[in-house]
Structure 1
Amino acid sequence: MEQDCDVLIAGGGPTGLTLAILLARRGLKVIVAEKEAAPYPLPRAAHIDHEGMRILQEAGAAEDVFATSRRVARYDFLNSRGKLLLRFDGSDRIGPGGWPGANMIHQPSVEAALRRSLQRYPDAVLCHGWEVGSFVDDGDGVTTRIGTPEGPKTIRSRFLIGADGARSPVRTAAGIAFDDLQFEEPWLVVDVLVDDETRLPAANLQICDPKRPTTCVLMGEGRHRWEFMILKGETAEQVSDDAFVAALLDPWDVKGAVRIERKAVYTFRARIANRWRAGNVLLAGDAAHQTPPFAGQGMCSGLRDAANLAWKLAAVVKDGAPDALLDSYQPERARNLRATIDMAIMMGRMVCTTNRWAALARDLKIGIARILGKQPNGPSGYPTIMEGLIIAESNAAGSYFPQPVASDGTRLDDVLGAGCWLLSRDTLSAAAIRPFAPAIERWLDDRQSDAVLVRPDRYVFGTGDPRDLRAAWEEATRLHPAALADPVAAAREDIRI
């Protein structure tokens, strides 16, 4: 049966748009079906980390996003008296991904940047007002019924991706259930436009006050956010009342400095889909997992999904890799995702303590840890890839490969481009690589390796002898050598495989 596209993506949010761009860059024909008639204009996600920015870099949107984002050095947890409990410092410094560790963003601006990038690819189309309905997976592809402003349509695709949010109709229709991780708290989110930035905190804050746990964070340029925990007995209507919100903001002394842009009640949840793939139907982003916002990893997790899934879909559709390659998607992502959710739950339970005595015990425990020098200075590192397309016994396999930045601001990925890299000590003399050679050589020295094979999502496949790595990659992916290209052939022929 003739196909209308290689991949149909349900959902035109950051995950769906990023996935569409990464697929289009690899030569696939993509349709994004977004049920809303127009882009959602109000803020939602607030943070992208260095790894998320690196993914946006590949998607051609990072510079635009960075231009309207703000950096923040500190993430402070304060008790009810305003005393410091815990501080995560230095998040404005450049992270392994080659971008600052914490970038506070305005989600509509992120989506606008992604839409502009998507328009560069004639074989990638974003269709607003398209709502995915029923679908049939016959093994060779998926036939999907879609409601559109012009009437019902039927789209035939090789794969269907549900990137359609927490209530995902695709997930529901595929019969995929959620595993509940037992965190559910209702909060009021208040987003404001800032007229006088000098009157607002310069750090991200968690106010661990049992009377009313509160979050106060920077957003993209010209915006700020407060989140207030809804207490037992309060209703969504009550806490959304203008007078109630004004009373919540009054202690912050920001009257005249801010204007309310949005008020919304959210239930912060922690859940993971028990399957991320059902035949030719796969899930990504909030359709596959939901995390409380305390670690700022909601959007970041969806971007990581897109980066992991894009190159594998392209390998199957375009390069002849076996369909089983996609079975590595969930095992590779789930362990990292579970750790980010566990971190968010830990932070959330610390913040959401409403019992006065439990809060006092928490404060004393944290204070003792600080005296003993056992407090963390940042969130714990998340697990590397432990199983899937890696040489498990190889040194550093599954770890995240850093992106060095040259003295002139050039980043490694922009020089080497998309695809898989085979970097050996012999390649470091190539003119294109020379500005990054010291950083790469240090990385190899630290791991006592002669070469590293870096996957397209920038995780390490393995280290060792270059010829052995090439052979192991071809065996693991079943990709024919003829399908392997080289973006810097003029410099060296053995960098990208």
Structure 2
Amino acid sequence: MTLEPVERCDVLVVGGGPVGVALGLLLGKEGVRTVIAEREPGLYPLPRAAHIDDEVIRLLQGLGVADAVAATSRTSSRYDFLTAKGEVLMSFPSVMGRTRMGWPSGMMIHQPSLESYLRGQLASAGPVELRSHWTLAALTETPDGVLADLETPDGPRRVHAGWVVGCDGARSTVRSLGGFSLDDLGFDEPWLVVDVLVDDPARLPEVNLQICDPARPTTCVLMGEGRHRWEFMLRPDETPEQAQDPAFVAELLKPWKVEGAVRLERTAVYRFHALVAQRWRQERLLLAGDAAHQMPPFAGQGLCSGLRDAANLAWKLGRVVRGQSPDALLDTYQPEREPNVRAIIGMALMMGRTVCILDPLAAAERDRRMLADRAAGNVPAGPAGYPPITEGCILPGTPAAGWPLTQPVLEDGRRMDDALPRGAWLFRQPGPAPAGLPEDVVDLPLDSPHLADFAPAVAVLLAGEGVSAALVRPDRYVFGSGEAHHLVRAWAGALAADEA
């Protein structure tokens, strides 16, 4: 018997983790009717992701949760890669103050707290609803959308959605039902993750560490307030069941001399993968987060990448749903995001392959070479910068196009994003507004009351690029810069362009 649709929505987000809920909140701000279907009945209570960077903290700022997340997070001044003897192979310093995004370069988080703060925003998020304990069973395309069959505590339900976004993790049902394929980038290693509650922080390292010991490659990192994490690479003769035995874990922790200083919260064995979906959009189905890409955790960018996906996708879906742009705008999603993701995976693989050497002779040669490079000053000062957007919805060839906009912060702590209205921004020199300014672009001449105390900082940004105007997308990436009238025409053209 065919089920009739029980409800309609513009977007069905499958997966109520941080990426799915963030996407739902962003869609709510766009006025998009959104249902978030989450198969679990409640929040997963144990730690998972450990790190978010300054760009993502800025994104959370726009969702109203950054200060709460920061209050339960910790920062590390360095990320050191050490030999088994404790010699430094690589050391990446962190910015503990403010980067150009207006926040520290990274925060070590407690994911359940972050998710709780995000879900707390749903009540005021507009037309967005989270349906817990709803499991996707089938997808059927229609001429104007997708029929989704779901199993719920109240029996089978059907939702008709204009668009479906799979934010449902590494084992994505949307990816499977949609027939999306994955590129395997050649990394598959089993690691034991050990999360602990900290009673005596003075006995734990204060910086993040990778121990490049062929006998047992090990990660040791800060987590959210009151927590710490170790990750131990499993050797070929060790099983997941053996690794999670309390006696086995205690033996692994013994060299750290933390008995009595920590209490075990969780152990889990993961296989660290490097995978990227070949397509991120198929008609009215889209993938985001771990459903679209998976990476080893060494660069701390898994959750960050998923949240960047959400920010990129939300404003575009908003325009398409409102009929302001053709759905071809969604074809810019993968070309904009995939190069960034692949560069991050490349960095994570470099880090992982540096750490995960089990052969003692190969490890000794690695140590010799890297220590010699460090002594000669031939080492990176930090992780390589990830590429900006180079194709898609930008005006290529103009200064700063495709880069995130700097966020000025005043001495009293006020951040520019909080002072300005939602939407795209046109920063420009004072004078008459350019003809044809779209309604969704906020006109911000340097004498605008909206800018007020931020006008001097914005003037410096424009002067630094040698331009009189810059147009910034709703996800705070620079569309392009130059003359205001030219930017307005180019923006309108980029958003109205059809597939042809």
Compute the TM-score of the two structures, normalised by the length of structure 1: 0.94
Within-5 A mapping of 1:161-172: 161-172=165-176
Task: Output the aligned Cα RMSD.
Answer: 1.3
Within-5 A mapping of 1:356-435: 356-426=360-430, 427-435=445-453
Within-5 A mapping of 1:187-202: 187-202=191-206
Q: Deviations over 1:169-195 (max 9, x none)?
A: 100000001000001110000000000
- Rounded to whole Å, the distance in 1 between the matches of 2:62 and 2:463 is 27
- Rounded to whole Å, the distance in 1 between the matches of 2:99 and 2:448 is 25
Which residue of structure 2 lines up, in the alignment, with residue 74 of structure 1? 78
- Cα deviation for residue 342 of structure 1 reads 0.4
Aligned counterpart for 1:254 among listed residues 242, 258, 268: 258
Q: Give 1:429's aligned amino acid.
A: D
Aligned counterpart for 2:490 among listed residues 469, 472, 476: 472
- Cα deviation for residue 319 of structure 1 reads 4.5
- Rounded to whole Å, the distance in 1 between the matches of 2:64 and 2:261 is 35
Which residue of structure 2 lines up, in the alignment, with residue 487 of structure 1? none
For structure 1, list consecutive stretches of 5 or more residues without a partner in the other structure.
Answer: 480-497
Confirm whether residue 348 of structure 1 aligns to residue 366 of structure 2. no
Which residue of structure 1 lines up, in the alignment, with residue 328 of structure 2? 324
Confirm whether residue 8 of structure 1 aligns to residue 12 of structure 2. yes
Within-5 A mapping of 1:262-301: 262-301=266-305
Q: Give 1:441's aligned amino acid.
A: A
Confirm whether residue 450 of structure 1 aligns to residue 454 of structure 2. no
Which residue of structure 1 lines up, in the alignment, with residue 224 of structure 2? 220
Query: Residue 135 of structure 1: SS of its match in structure 2?
Result: strand
- Rounded to whole Å, the distance in 1 between the matches of 2:459 and 2:79 is 33
Query: Residue 443 of structure 1: SS of its match in structure 2?
Result: helix
Q: Deviations over 1:88-127 (max 9, x none)?
A: 1133232222111110000000100000011212521111
- Cα deviation for residue 262 of structure 1 reads 0.1
- Rounded to whole Å, the distance in 1 between the matches of 2:421 and 2:257 is 49
- Cα deviation for residue 436 of structure 1 reads 2.4
- Rounded to whole Å, the distance in 1 between the matches of 2:95 and 2:298 is 15
- Rounded to whole Å, the distance in 2 between the matches of 1:221 and 1:467 is 49
Q: Give 1:461's aligned amino acid.
A: F
How many residues are matched?
479
Range with bigger deviation, 309-318 or 424-433: 424-433
Query: Residue 467 of structure 1: SS of its match in structure 2?
Result: helix
Q: Give 1:108's aligned amino acid.
A: P
Query: Residue 124 of structure 2: SS of its match in structure 1?
Result: coil
Q: Give 2:50's aligned amino acid.
A: A
Q: Deviations over 1:384-420 (max 9, x none)?
A: 0011001112222111211111111111111113211
- Rounded to whole Å, the distance in 2 between the matches of 1:60 and 1:146 is 31
Which residue of structure 1 lines up, in the alignment, with residue 458 of structure 2? 440
> Does the CA-based 8 Å contact 2:6-2:159 persist in structure 1?
no
- Rounded to whole Å, the distance in 2 between the matches of 1:58 and 1:470 is 25
Confirm whether residue 42 of structure 1 aligns to residue 46 of structure 2. yes
> Does the CA-based 8 Å contact 2:88-2:371 persist in structure 1?
no
Confirm whether residue 463 of structure 1 aligns to residue 481 of structure 2. yes
Query: Residue 264 of structure 2: SS of its match in structure 1?
Result: strand
Q: Give 2:185's aligned amino acid.
A: L
Q: Give 1:268's aligned amino acid.
A: F
> Does the CA-based 8 Å contact 1:139-1:279 persist in structure 2?
no
- Cα deviation for residue 218 of structure 1 reads 0.4
Q: Give 1:442's aligned amino acid.
A: V
- Rounded to whole Å, the distance in 1 between the matches of 2:329 and 2:420 is 24
Q: Give 1:50's aligned amino acid.
A: D
- Rounded to whole Å, the distance in 2 between the matches of 1:58 and 1:280 is 27
- Cα deviation for residue 143 of structure 1 reads 0.7
Q: Deviations over 1:142-177 (max 9, x none)?
A: 110000000000001110010000000100000001
- Cα deviation for residue 70 of structure 1 reads 0.8
> Does the CA-based 8 Å contact 2:469-2:481 persist in structure 1?
yes
- Rounded to whole Å, the distance in 2 between the matches of 1:201 and 1:371 is 25
- Rounded to whole Å, the distance in 1 between the matches of 2:27 and 2:388 is 24
- Rounded to whole Å, the distance in 2 between the matches of 1:220 and 1:77 is 21
> Does the CA-based 8 Å contact 1:186-1:230 persist in structure 2?
yes
Which residue of structure 2 lines up, in the alignment, with residue 135 of structure 1? 139
Distance 1:3 1:323, change over 3 A: farther
Confirm whether residue 211 of structure 1 aligns to residue 215 of structure 2. yes
- Rounded to whole Å, the distance in 1 between the matches of 2:97 and 2:383 is 14
Runs ≥4 residues deviating over 4 A:
none
Query: Residue 151 of structure 2: SS of its match in structure 1?
Result: strand
Query: Residue 396 of structure 1: SS of its match in structure 2?
Result: coil
Within-5 A mapping of 1:154-165: 154-165=158-169
- Rounded to whole Å, the distance in 2 between the matches of 1:200 and 1:431 is 49
Which residue of structure 2 lines up, in the alignment, with residue 490 of structure 1? none
Q: Give 2:25's aligned amino acid.
A: I
- Cα deviation for residue 2 of structure 1 reads 9.6
- Rounded to whole Å, the distance in 1 between the matches of 2:99 and 2:144 is 42
- Cα deviation for residue 8 of structure 1 reads 0.5
- Rounded to whole Å, the distance in 2 between the matches of 1:165 and 1:24 is 22
Aligned counterpart for 1:85 among listed residues 81, 86, 89: 89
Distance 1:281 1:106, change over 3 A: same
- Rounded to whole Å, the distance in 2 between the matches of 1:244 and 1:3 is 51
Identity %, equivalent residues: 54
- Rounded to whole Å, the distance in 2 between the matches of 1:268 and 1:62 is 28
- Rounded to whole Å, the distance in 1 between the matches of 2:301 and 2:97 is 18
Range with bigger deviation, 292-301 or 429-438: 429-438
Q: Give 1:436's aligned amino acid.
A: F
- Rounded to whole Å, the distance in 1 between the matches of 2:154 and 2:447 is 58
Compute the TM-score of the two structures, normalised by the length of structure 2: 0.94
> Does the CA-based 8 Å contact 2:6-2:157 persist in structure 1?
no
> Does the CA-based 8 Å contact 1:51-1:96 persist in structure 2?
no
> Does the CA-based 8 Å contact 1:58-1:418 persist in structure 2?
no
- Cα deviation for residue 258 of structure 1 reads 0.3
Which residue of structure 2 lines up, in the alignment, with residue 337 of structure 1? 341
Query: Residue 171 of structure 1: SS of its match in structure 2?
Result: helix
Q: Give 1:96's aligned amino acid.
A: R
Aligned counterpart for 1:18 among listed residues 16, 22, 35: 22
- Rounded to whole Å, the distance in 2 between the matches of 1:158 and 1:417 is 28
Query: Residue 22 of structure 1: SS of its match in structure 2?
Result: helix
Q: Give 2:352's aligned amino acid.
A: G
- Cα deviation for residue 11 of structure 1 reads 0.2
